[in-house]
A = this chain, B = another copy of it.
């Protein structure tokens, strides 16, 4: 089954992670994934336009923030916390805990 490509941990760039999380909707998605664990794209998209949401998932994936696993027609997303916490210690905690967006 086709799967998405995900960047290797050692290639992640801080500036790309910051850029991916600088959008309020993307930040909200990542906060929810971090809090609730794996979520399908369908659950995260809700009533929003699918095309623009696909772009947001792609940005998060390319920056190394989320991992998407394809099972049949369902896409499951998770935050790559272990990878991010190893490469950028303290960053995700500081970003996800803060409530002032």
Contacts and interface: CB of A to CB of B under 8 A. Distances in A.
Interface of A is mostly: helix
Number of copies: 2
A66 B75 CA distance: 41
Interface string A43-86: 00000000000000000000000000000000000000000000
Contact-residue bracket for chain A? 20 to 34
A91 B18 CA distance: 11
A97 B98 CA distance: 19
> Would you list the 4 A-B pairs with minimal beta carbon distance, nearest first?
A19-B22, A90-B94, A18-B22, A91-B94
9 contacts: A13-B101, A14-B95, A15-B21, A15-B24, A18-B19, A87-B98, A87-B100, A88-B98, A90-B90
